[in-house]
Amino acid sequence: MAKIVILTGSPHFNGASQKLADSFEKGIEEAENEVYRYDAGLQGESKPHFLQLEHAPGMEIGIPDNDVVEKEVIPKLLAADVVVLVSSLYYFGINAQLKAVIDRFYDYNHELKDKK
């Protein structure tokens, strides 16, 4: 049994990326693997993984107090055997919602370098 983390970024509920991730997740669960999934694009205002600070020089970005990425996603990611990234492609790059989560991995590069 493998521990698998799925990170998605599309903000489109029931879009192509979400359907792809749903099918993949169903397959890994049927194979009796442990799955954790975080849909970065669907978090909305109740669970933001970054905040744009108003009235700040350069409109700086801050991390919220109830940071779900630090408290939930990173521990699951560090314990995982396999990491799956699912994103729509916008001009040959991943979307901003998923990129904002991936950028938070920097402090954990050494622990993540051998993940599949």
72-84: per-residue pLDDT in tens? 999 999 999 999 9
Other beta carbons less than 10 A from residue 18's beta carbon? 19
Q: What is the pLDDT of residue 80?
A: 96
Query: At residue 59, does pLDDT exceed 70?
Result: no
Tell me what pLDDT residue 66 has: 60
Contacts of 105 (CB under 8 A, 6+ apart): 74, 77, 112
Give me the domains of the chain, ranges plus CATH numbers: 3-114 (3.40.50.360)
Nearest Cα to 100, choosing from 54, 58, 64, 55? Answer: 64
Kindly state the percentage of the chain with pLDDT values over 90: 39
